[in-house]
Amino acid sequence: MQNPTNAVMSEQRCADIAEIIKEHNLLLIEDDLYRFLAADKNNPLTCLVPEQSIYIASVSKAFYAGLRTCFVASPQKYCNRITQSVVDTIWMAPSLNAELACTCITSGIADKIIQRKQIEIKRRAGIMKSKLHAYTYQYEPDSMFAWLKLPDGVDSNVFETVASDNGISIVSSWKFSTGMEIPPDYIRFSLSGADCSAEFEKGLDILFNMLDRRIGVPGGIF
């Protein structure tokens, strides 16, 4: 579930990439942060080339953002180098954080938190679809964010600034771009940032009014 576009690779695409990795003896590093949300439960790409893959999964989105802890699955031949890299950069992950994460997983608490998150995200996705049905956006079921196309002539950087001035947090497509190419005018907005569904709906109402050009910069519309 690619951030920010919500793009998801098909099984055939994964198989094709796995063949390229095998043919050219490449190393895959798979950062699978949103796997726990995916409605499509296909295996990660790592499963197709396990001996040429390093798989990374964080708990920050899944259940506890404050732990800032992740888990790495790697072939034995890379373990010493990975361990040394951790020592060279941050010395070690906080042991208490790792213990809390492991206890939550083994006790089943993590699964319960994830289930509650999925239920709430589905609720908010329903609100989003009812509010923004007239606009073009990309959304993968159970995703924590949406990728919305702005009306023609609306600059995503300006839109982000105006949104902030009106109390909502979105991210311009420029934040995800590199090089000299001008990105399309899209924004990413989160379904998980608001404390409750009512607050999320209020934010969507502000966003809708901006899209509908009822809210803009002083003296004009964007």
Domains assigned to the chain: 11-107 (3.40.640.10), 111-211 (3.90.1150.10)
Give whole-number Cα distances, 135 to 131, 184, 207, in Å.
Answer: 9, 15, 11
pLDDT of residue 208: 93
Residue 42 Rama label (left phi>0; alpha psi -120 to 50; beta): beta
Burial degree of 206 (CB within 10 A; 0-12, 13-18, 19+): middle
Cα angle value 51/54/58 (rounded, 5°): 145
Cα angle value 23/24/27 (rounded, 5°): 110
Residue 91's Cα: distance from chain center in Å?
A: 27
pLDDT of residue 221: 46
pLDDT of residue 20: 98
pLDDT of residue 150: 95
Q: What is the mean pLDDT of each run of 10 residues along the chain (222 residues)?
A: 90 95 97 82 90 94 86 95 91 87 95 92 96 94 94 92 93 92 93 94 94 68 47
Q: From CA 222, how far away is CA 57, in angstroms rounded?
A: 40
